[in-house]
A and B are shown apart, each in its own frame.
Chain A
Amino acid sequence: MVMQGGGAGQLADDAATREIAEAVKQRSDSMGTQEMVLNVGPQHPATHGVFRLLATIDGEVLTDAEPVIGYMHRGYEKLVEARDYRQITNLVSRMDWLSGINNELPLAMVVEKMMGIEVPRRAQYLRVIMVEMNRILNHLMFFASFGAELGAITPTFYAFREREDIQRVLEDVTGGRMHFGFMRPGGLKEDVPRGFYASALAAVRQVIARLPDYEDLLIGNEIFKGRTIDVGILDKQTAYNYGVSGPIARGSGIDMDVRKDEPYLVYDEFDWQVSTAPNGDCFDRFWVLVHEVVESAKIVEQAIEGIPPGPILGKVPRVVQIPEGEAYVRAENSLGELGYYLVSDGDKKPYRLKIRTPSYNNVSALPPVLRGTLVSDMIAILGSFFFVLGDIDR
């Protein structure tokens, strides 16, 4: 069957017509087919934002796919050059809007590294608690959206109910729901309110108690397995080549987690595992995501139990002015490795801040995975690559 993109019927150009006829004739099957370009996005429910995928399809099979990004470019790397470091904290919080605190943390860390500020242990513990709770929020969000993309709407609402419990705790502490702005070079903006430990522990335990049910609802479902197992396989080598990190890399069997490999804060004091899965298909990526929620909850529990007394802010000069030099700090964001490369010329503002965001690298590995899959698989793969648009374009 010849698929005509609107208006192709009125081809006036003889040469073009002949070319098409030739191409149709060359097909060995009795019914000549023609490829068509399906423009997925920038406005499409499965792309979680203004992400565009130029998919060339033959029937329902994708012969090629090209991600087009940049619709949400806000020029953060330039904007930060005109702001001091506390202002930047609030700016980078908006990059990956699902894990604001996770974005703020490495920025504070790079400033501390260059200024030689020592962060009190209590602040480090609190940072771990906040970051891990933020990670749970982020992972539950993707749990919800992946289910919805595969057509199961109900898990979305269950996941959002759990998110709300944690969201409320974080709101009590920071006053924000998405952009927390809570990290400061040297520690935290302010101390946690009374009753924080109990409510945080309760919220996290609630999630862990209910998670098995949700897991059964999705992971245990035959249709879900049929839709995700052996679909969209990202092999180890491709993942390495494209610099893929985070749950997606771990779903491809790469045991890689900055929290373990290069422990920062106090991560080496807790007992937890890096979840990995060997196959690199959609199911494995999702499995890793769900199991990371459990690991994060473990860390939060241990951190709350072992938190030492002390101040929440180290000795920070009144004006944060970084001496000339450069430094790179990386940390495990919810979606992978987040790095800040800071160059300072001795001013109150950065000379240059290069941001390495996880989603950007992860999404670049899409074309080799998408080639040869079906349109429905494309949605499953997009959903299982767990990207945030603001994190890609920033």
Chain B
Amino acid sequence: MYEISMFGLSVTITAWQLLIVKLIVILTVVPVGALAGGYAMHKELGHLQHRLGPMYAGGFHGWAQTLADGLKFIYKEDIIPERADRRVFTLAPAVIFVPVILLFLVIPIDRTLIIEDLDIGLFYLLAIGSVGVIGVLMAGWSSANKYALIGGLRAAAQLIAYELPIVLSAAAVAMLAGTLSITGIVEAQDWPFLLWPPGIGLLAFLVFLVGNIAEMNLPPFDMPVAESEIITGAFTEYSGMRFIFGFFFAEMAHMVAFSAIAATLFLGGYRPIVPWGPLEAIPGILWFFGKFAFMFFFIVWVRFTFPRLREDQLQKFAWKFMIPVSLGLVLAAGAWVLYAPEQLWR
């Protein structure tokens, strides 16, 4: 039996009921989040590019545009190429999409608003976050298309190159916080890690940001899906539902999830940006969404500003710059934890 108290209400439910509630929540939050994220992205993109963005669907400022886009894809024919490896081809979008949903499980929206507060939350995030690339590789290999194959292999190469900096920068965070639990990490941030310890937190944030942009295949690291080169790479042969779930929806949900994760790990999640009395009065949920919105705005901004790197330039950047930097980062974080005086910590 569990007792849940939220917004002044208190209910007692069984473990099964709790599980069902959690499932309903996660299966609502992810699609709604992805759709809202898609809409926000289109609007931001529109204004960055001196145009309006969606304006008609649904009436008010085109709020239903992403919904309409999604519906359109659902009505489209599901085409499977004749020479494709059918089972792998049909499975790939699920392998891409499901891990992205699972990312949302451990993100705390407020002190108590979390689906499952795992003790190894950070480890879980890192592990689940990179499963999707297997789906991309599956899609690329099974499509029987040369462009798709190039895209799949590029994605795999990119994963190997960028998983390491991500893990190392996250390790630095775990060392500073002294825990792998996501709520534990948030609680450790009296000052957000971005600001304190000076330099280390900022550097870890930048490495984490760049690594994740590469892992999500967003520009300037979008070689695996490069529209003008290999025509969305591994997804060239996909259409209809599979395309929208494996590619657009998964990408959007991943961007939303990443923004939430970065806001949690480096910007202090649901806690105020500086430990100052009046700011503490603002509800944590607002802090969280404010930081989340900032991160989301930022990656969309980056996404539509930079040209694309080349595959070999990306690999060089990863192995010759990012990985040495992140190794140094782990060293610096360790030194800070070991030698910095206790009163400097928080």
Contacts and interface: CB of A to CB of B under 8 A. Distances in A.
Interface of A: 3, 5-7, 36, 38-39, 44-46, 60, 147-154, 157-158, 161, 217-218, 221, 223-224, 226-227, 374-379
Contact of B308 (A6, A36, A150, A158): A150
Given A38-B147, A376-B229, 12 more contacts: A3-B149, A39-B146, A60-B311, A151-B222, A151-B306, A154-B304, A158-B50, A218-B307, A223-B307, A226-B313, A374-B311, A376-B310
Interface residues of B, number: 30
B51 A45 contact: no
Contacts of B308: 150-152, 223, 227, 376
Contacts of B149: 3
A151 B228 contact: yes
Main secondary structure of the interface of B (DSSP, over half): loop
B115 interface: no
Contacts of A221: 306-307
Nearest to A157: B49
A151 B222 CA distance: 8
Nearest to B83: A6
B67 interface: no
Contacts of A5: 146
A50 B162 CA distance: 37
Interface in B150-205: 150
A161 B48 CA distance: 13
A46 B304 CA distance: 18
B134 interface: no
A183 B114 CA distance: 71
Contact of A377 (B51, B150, B310): B310
B325 interface: no
B311 A148 contact: no
Contacts of A3: 149
Interface string B283-318: 000000000000000000000111111111100000
Contacts of A154: 48-49, 304-305
Contact of B307 (A39, A158, A224): A224
Nearest to A146: B307
B209 interface: no
23 contacts: A6-B144, A38-B146, A38-B147, A39-B146, A148-B228, A151-B220, A151-B226, A151-B228, A151-B308, A152-B307, A152-B308, A153-B49, A154-B48, A154-B305, A158-B50, A161-B50, A218-B307, A223-B308, A227-B308, A227-B309, A374-B310, A376-B226, A379-B228
A221 B219 CA distance: 14
A147 B222 CA distance: 15
